[in-house]
C-alpha cells in the first residue's frame, strides 16, 4: 500500500532532549537562563503539566532570546517521559520537553549551539529554511553526532536574513521521520516582521502555533513502523484542543508551523479569514487573505487573525486527501478560540507590506527537470530514478546565478518539495502561472502534476540537499544532493 511505509532501520527508541547554556542567552523577559533539565519524568504535576490538560489555555513555548547579537544554547539529546496532550508518554525531546523552547534571534545575530547526543543512534540538527552556510559547523546535514558525542554548531546570520517563522529538527538520514515523529522539532523566530505593521499593531500579541502530531505505542510515542495514514493525535505546542483567547476586533499574530514528520494540515478558523503576512519566513509584498491554508509538511505561515464577535469558535484542520496513493486526513478540531472582553477599535491594514525580490525577469543560467516517483508498493521513493546517496552530487549550481527547475510528480500522491540554503520563487502550478507574493522554501507538488520554481543561489557555497519533506519519503530515498560552487 503506497501510503504505508515501515521504518525498519531503527531497533531502539530514539531521543533528543535539550538544555540551555548560559552566556548570551536570555528568556523572553531578558533574564539569564541557566542550564537545566526541563519538565517531565517525575514528581507532582507542574504548571507545564497542568497546561497539557485538554482544553487548557494555550501555552506558548519558552523562548531563548539572543542578547547583544548572540544566542548561546546547549541541546541535550535524550529520551524522556513527558506530559503531552494530557498523557504521560516516553518521547524524543529537546530539553526534556515534547515542545522545546523557541529560539529567537535578530538579523545579523550569531547562534552558538552545543548539541550533546544521549541517544543510542546518531543525530544532528537542521535549521529549516534559514539562509545560512550549509558547510562546516553551520547547517551541515551531513554531520553525524554519534552517541555520547558533543557537536558545536555555529551560525552567523546575515543582516539581510528575512524575518518570520522557521524551525529546527533532526535531519539524521535515514532516521529523520522517526526522530521528528518522536518529538524532535521546535520553532525559530527571526524578529523584524512587526516593522511593516501599522504603529498601533507594533505591540501585537503573538502565538506560536506549533502543529505536531504523534502516534502511540504502549506508553511511548511511536518511532518505528510509522504509517502516515494511521490514527494520530494532532496537537498545538503539545496541547490537545487548547483555548486561545482574543478580544473582539483584536488582531493577533499567529505563527503557523507544520513541524510534524509526515502529515498535512488544512487550517480553517470558523467565521474568520487568515491575513497572510509571511510564507516560509518570507514577508509578502501585499497582504493576502484566505479562508483556509494548506500547510504541507515543513511549511509555515505568519498570519494576522482578528477576533470575531464575543463567543466561541473552532480552529480546525479540514479533511484533505493527498491522492489515490496518498492519505486521507480527517477533519479535526485543533483549538477553541474564545472572543471576549472589551472590543478593540478597528485597524486598517496596509495595502502594501514588505519589499521582495522578483525573479520573473531574471537571466537563467540553467533549466532542470526533477522527477519525483515511487515504486508500485509505495515504500521506495526516487528523484530522477535514483535514491539518495550522500556520496553522489546530483545537481551542481553556480553561486550568484538563477536556475529554473520543473519539479514533476509521476506518482499518485502529493509530495512536499523543500530545498535547503536558499528560498525560491514559485512560478507555476500544473502549467498555470502562480502569483507569488513572497519567496518560499517549501511547495506542494500535485499528484501527477508539476510545479516550476526559480532558485537564486546567493552568499553561500557547499553541499546541501533538496527533498520531499514527508520524512518517510525522504528517508526511503526521495532526497538529492545539491552542490553550490563558485
C-alpha cell at 129: 529554511
Q: Where are the beta strands (DSSP E) in 271-324?
A: 274-279, 282-290, 292-295, 300-306, 311-317, 320-321
User: Mean pLDDT for each consecutive 10-residue tract of the chain (486 residues)?
Assistant: 39 37 41 33 44 88 98 95 95 94 98 96 98 98 98 98 98 98 98 96 97 97 96 97 98 98 98 97 98 98 98 98 98 98 96 95 98 97 98 98 98 98 98 98 98 98 98 98 98
- pLDDT score of 54: 83
Nearest to 265, CA basis, from 330, 323, 197? 330
Q: Give pTM, 2 decimals.
A: 0.91
Report all structural domains of the chain as residue ranges with CATH numbers, in order of start: 25-191 (2.60.40.420), 199-339 (2.60.40.420), 364-485 (2.60.40.420)
- Rounded CA separation 462/482 (Å): 8
First to last CA, the chain: 44
Spatial CB neighbours of 117, under 8 Å, sequence gap ≥ 6: 77, 123, 145, 146, 147, 148, 149, 150, 151
- pLDDT score of 52: 72
SS (H, E, C) 219-252: CEECCCCCECCCCCEEEECCECCCEEEECCCCEE
- pLDDT score of 277: 98
Nearest to 263, CA basis, from 221, 292, 222, 231? 231
Do 110 and 154 meet the contact criterion of CB atoms below 8 Å apart?
yes
- Rounded CA separation 398/391 (Å): 20
Spatial CB neighbours of 29, under 8 Å, sequence gap ≥ 6: none
CB environment 372-400: b (16+ within 10 A), e (fewer): bbbeeebbebbbeeeebeeeeebbebeee
For 112-157, the DSSP string reads EEEEEE-SSS-B--EEET-----STTSS-TT--B-TT-EEEEEEE-
Helices and strands (H, E) in the chain, number of each type = 3, 36
- pLDDT score of 35: 34
Do 121 and 448 meet the contact criterion of CB atoms below 8 Å apart?
no
C-alpha cell at 202: 507594533
- pLDDT score of 53: 81
Spatial CB neighbours of 391, under 8 Å, sequence gap ≥ 6: none
Amino acid at each position: 500500500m503506497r501510503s504505508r511505509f515501515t521504518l525498519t532501520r531503527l531497533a531502539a527508541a530514539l531521543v533528543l532532549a535539550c538544555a540551555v547554556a548560559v552566556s548570551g542567552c536570555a528568556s523572553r523577559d531578558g533574564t539569564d537562563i541557566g542550564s537545566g533539565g526541563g519538565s517531565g519524568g517525575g514528581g507532582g504535576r507542574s504548571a507545564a503539566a497542568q497546561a497539557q490538560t485538554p482544553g487548557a489555555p494555550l501555552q506558548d513555548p519558552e523562548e531563548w532570546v539572543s542578547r547583544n547579537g548572540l544566542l548561546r544554547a546547549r541541546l541535550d539529546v535524550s529520551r524522556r517521559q513527558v506530559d503531552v496532550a494530557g498523557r504521560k508518554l516516553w518521547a524524543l525531546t529537546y530539553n526534556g520537553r515534547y515542545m522545546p523552547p523557541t529560539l529567537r534571534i535578530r538579523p545579523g545575530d550569531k547562534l552558538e549551539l552545543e548539541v550533546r547526543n544521549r541517544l543510542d543512534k546518531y543525530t544532528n540538527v537542521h535549521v529549516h529554511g534559514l539562509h545560512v552556510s550549509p558547510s562546516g559547523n553551520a547547517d551541515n546535514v551531513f554531520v553525524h553526532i554519534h552517541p555520547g558525542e558533543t557537536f558545536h554548531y555555529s551560525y552567523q546570520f546575515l543582516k539581510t536574513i528575512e524575518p518570520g517563522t522557521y524551525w529546527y529538527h533532526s535531519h539524521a538520514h535515514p532516521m529523520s521521520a522517526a526522530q521528528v515523529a518522536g518529538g524532535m522539532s521546535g520553532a525559530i523566530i527571526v524578529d523584524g516582521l512587526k516593522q511593516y505593521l501599522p504603529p498601533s499593531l507594533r505591540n501585537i500579541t503573538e502565538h506560536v502555533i506549533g502543529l505536531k502530531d504523534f502516534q502511540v505505542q504502549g506508553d511511548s510515542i511511536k518511532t518505528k513502523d510509522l504509517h502516515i495514514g494511521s490514527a494520530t493525535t494532532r496537537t498545538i505546542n503539545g496541547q490537545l484542543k487548547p483555548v486561545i483567547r482574543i478580544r473582539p476586533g483584536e488582531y493577533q499574530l499567529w505563527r503557523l508551523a507544520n513541524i510534524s514528520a509526515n502529515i498535512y494540515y488544512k487550517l480553517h478558523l470558523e467565521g474568520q479569514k487568515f491575513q497572510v503576512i509571511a510564507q516560509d519566513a518570507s514577508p509578502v509584498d501585499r497582504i493576502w487573505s484566505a479562508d483556509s491554508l494548506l500547510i504541507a509538511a515543513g511549511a509555515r505561515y505568519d498570519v494576522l487573525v482578528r477576533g470575531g464577535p464575543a463567543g466561541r469558535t473552532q480552529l480546525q484542520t479540514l479533511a484533505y486527501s493527498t491522492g489515490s496513493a496518498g492519505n486521507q486526513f480527517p477533519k479535526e478540531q485543533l483549538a477553541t478560540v474564545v472572543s471576549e472582553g472589551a472590543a478593540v477599535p478597528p485597524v486598517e491594514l496596509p495595502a502594501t507590506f514588505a519589499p521582495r525580490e522578483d525573479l520573473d525577469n531574471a537571466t537563467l543560467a540553467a533549466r532542470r527537470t526533477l522527477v519525483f516517483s515511487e515504486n508500485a508498493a509505495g515504500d521506495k521513493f526516487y528523484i530522477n530514478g535514483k535514491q539518495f546517496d550522500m556520496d553522489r552530487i546530483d545537481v551542481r549550481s553556480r553561486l550568484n546565478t538563477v536556475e529554473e527547475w520543473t519539479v514533476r510528480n509521476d506518482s499518485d500522491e502529493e509530495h512536499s518539495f523543500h530545498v535547503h540554503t536558499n528560498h525560491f520563487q514559485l512560478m507555476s502550478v500544473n502549467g498555470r502561472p502562480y502569483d507569488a507574493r513572497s519567496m518560499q522554501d517549501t511547495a506542494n507538488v500535485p499528484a501527477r502534476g508539476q510545479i516550476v520554481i526559480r532558485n537564486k543561489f546567493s552568499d553561500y557555497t557547499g553541499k546541501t540537499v533538496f527533498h520531499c519533506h514527508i520524512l518517510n519519503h525522504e528517508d526511503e530515498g526521495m532526497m538529492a544532493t545539491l552542490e553550490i560552487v563558485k
